[in-house]
Structure 1
Amino acid sequence: MQAFAGEIGIVIIATLFLLLITVAPILFVLMHQRQYHRYLSDKEEIKNLNQRELLQSQLEIQNQTFQQIGEELHDNIGQLLTVALMRLNTLEDEVIDPDAQQSVQQTREIIRTIITDVRALAKTLDHDTVRRFGLLASLTLELERIQRTGRIQIQFQTSGETYSLGEQTETVLLRMTQESLNNALKHAQAQSITVSVDYQPTLFILSISDDGRGFELEDVAKRALDKAGVGLTNLYRRAGLLGGTCSIVSHPGAGTRVEIKLPRT
């Protein structure tokens, strides 16, 4: 009986030993995988943190540059245009010929339009505009400035109950919109542009669409380094750093649509 019990004990010990030999490598692999995944997660978090800090630095440099340009436009160019307008007013009083008077009046109206546009441009370049008035007002100012040029028809659509996304996020969104509008004006040969903003309860959507000539995204991606632009890459990267996504849909002859989605935080 004792011998039988001893044999059972040996079997149990052997079984436990075999289980230990079998399970130990599995546990080791699982622990290693867990540590590796944690390492990848920490690495990705550090990468995202560095990218966010880089974006913040770029944004600050860009804001300072735009601020200087805006001040230059407002203080110097604006003043020179105002002086030119005053001299035209004096010239109009001195000119007797009706045709010459009409020419002076037309020139005066052109300068007044330029002054208005310069002031509007100076405001959209100033990041304090977003801080003081918010994204919608800043977008409206930018679109009205483009509309006054008479080159293109602008539509601005909003839906949902407005909420703040934060000064930095809204400043980046304004710059992304300006970049998209600039692409449409320079390259698309569009007749109209539609900007829409949708404030959903958990999601913010901003889209910029044009009816221009469009392009193939694959062709742009295959361009040589000296011919490739960074505009599209900047849109993708900035949206990602804001915690959202940017999608671009374009086909030759069918226009282009840029859509930016950000979760509400």
Structure 2
Amino acid sequence: MSEQESQIALIFFGGAFLAILMSTFIVSMVVLHRQRQVQNRQKLDHLKTEYEKTILNIENEIQQETLTHIGRELHDNIGQLLSLAKLNLNSTKPEKQAEGKTYINQIIKEVRSLSKTLNLDWVESVTLEDFIQQQLDKIQGTGFCQTSLDSDFSFQELKKDQKLVLIRVIQECLNNAIKHAQPDHLTIQMAKNGAFREINIIDDGLGFDTNQKSEGSGMFNLTKRMETIGGTFKLTSTVGKGTRITLLLPL
């Protein structure tokens, strides 16, 4: 074989080797891309499942609380009103019978009010600011501590699922403050902050060391719930100087 033929053969085999190498590389990239597509699809499916599970759990929790509230109202409030109405209506005195009818009208209003809470339609009918103000008023009404709400009303337009998650997370944060913080003042701030809507829940209570591991899973659950709606949960606290919780939700 001549030198020229050897060079041609070398070029031919070299080209063939490069072609095989390129083909192998391309095939590998295609396979890798498809694997990543499958993984991403599985990840999205998992996130969707977790999201739906979280929303369902929150709805169940709120419904259970609602039923507990209704049971308490039926026993403590409406039950007492019915007893008073019965006593007055059984009286022969016209003024007592009139008072009994007044009680009946009050009972009707109370029952109508309770019926509205049997489903979650109230979530759509109330703004997040109104809900928070109601919660803070209840806390202050017990004499537990002073409360305040400062809002720029940037949370007026929320999807029902977002509102459900925020309602539950805020409820849990307020419950934790009541159970553990012993504050003199509890403040909630709501405002737009750049590309986010931000809620700060601030108390001047006992505070705690965030470096110490908690035995419960409360903070982890709150973090995961915020993640299901694309938000974040952040907590900072100092012993003796209170606690600050920040909830961020992208606009």
Q: 2:217 is matched with which residue: 230, 233, 243?
A: 230
The percent of aligned pairs where both chains have the same amino acid is 25
- Report the CA distance shift for 1:229/1:126 in structure 2 as closer, same or farther (over 3 A): farther
Question: How do 1:88-107 and structure 2 match up within 5 A?
Answer: none
Per-residue deviation, residues 212-255 of structure 1 (Å, max 9, x unmatched): 1111223134xxxxxx2232122111001111111111222221
Aligned to 1:241: 228
Q: How many residues align?
A: 225
Deviation at 1:162, TM superposition (A): 4.5
Residue number among 146, 152, 162 corresponding to 1:169 in the alignment: 162
| Residues 139-158 of structure 1 aligned to structure 2 (within 5 Å) | 139-158=132-151
Given the superposition, is the C-alpha separation of residues 161 and 61 from structure 1 closer, same or farther in structure 2, using an over 3 Å criterion? closer
The 5-angstrom pairing of residues 94-133 of structure 1 reads 127-133=120-126
Contact 1:212–1:256 (8 Å) recurs in 2: yes
Moved more, 43-52 or 176-185: 43-52
How many Å separate the matches in 2 of 1:207 and 1:22? Answer: 58
Instruction: Give the AA of the match of 2:197.
Output: F
Which residue is equivalent to 2:34?
35
| Distance across 2 between alignment mates of 1:62 and 1:263 | 25
The 1-side partners of 2:118 and 2:138 are apart by 12
1:198 equivalent in structure 2: 191
Using the alignment, how far apart are the partners of 1:201 and 1:121 within structure 2? Answer: 40
2:60 aligned residue: 61
Q: Deviations over 1:180-199 (max 9, x none)?
A: 01101111121111111114
Contact 1:217/1:250 (8 A) holds in 2:
yes
Q: Which residue in the other structure is 1:254 paired with?
A: 241
Superposition deviation, residue 11 in structure 1:
3.9
Residue by residue over 1:122-142, the C-alpha shift from the partner in whole angstroms, topping out at 9 and shown as x without a partner, is 999974332112211111111
Q: Distance in 2 between matches of 1:181 and 1:77?
A: 25
List runs of 5+ in structure 2 lacking aligned partners. Answer: 86-112
Please name the residue that 1:208 is paired with.
201
- State TM-score, norm by structure 1: 0.73
SS in 2 for 1:247: strand
Instruction: Give the Cα–Cα distance (whole angstroms) in 1 for the partners of residues 226 and 118 of structure 2.
Output: 20
CA separation of 1:162/1:75 partners in 2, compared to 1, >3 Å: closer, same or farther? same
**SS of residue in 1 equivalent to 2:212:** helix
What corresponds to 1:217 in structure 2? 210
CA distance in 1, matches of 2:115, 2:216: 26
TM-score (structure 2 length as normaliser): 0.77
1:183-194 aligned at under 5 Å gives the runs 183-194=176-187
**Which runs of 5 or more structure 1 residues have no equivalent in the other structure?**
87-119, 222-227
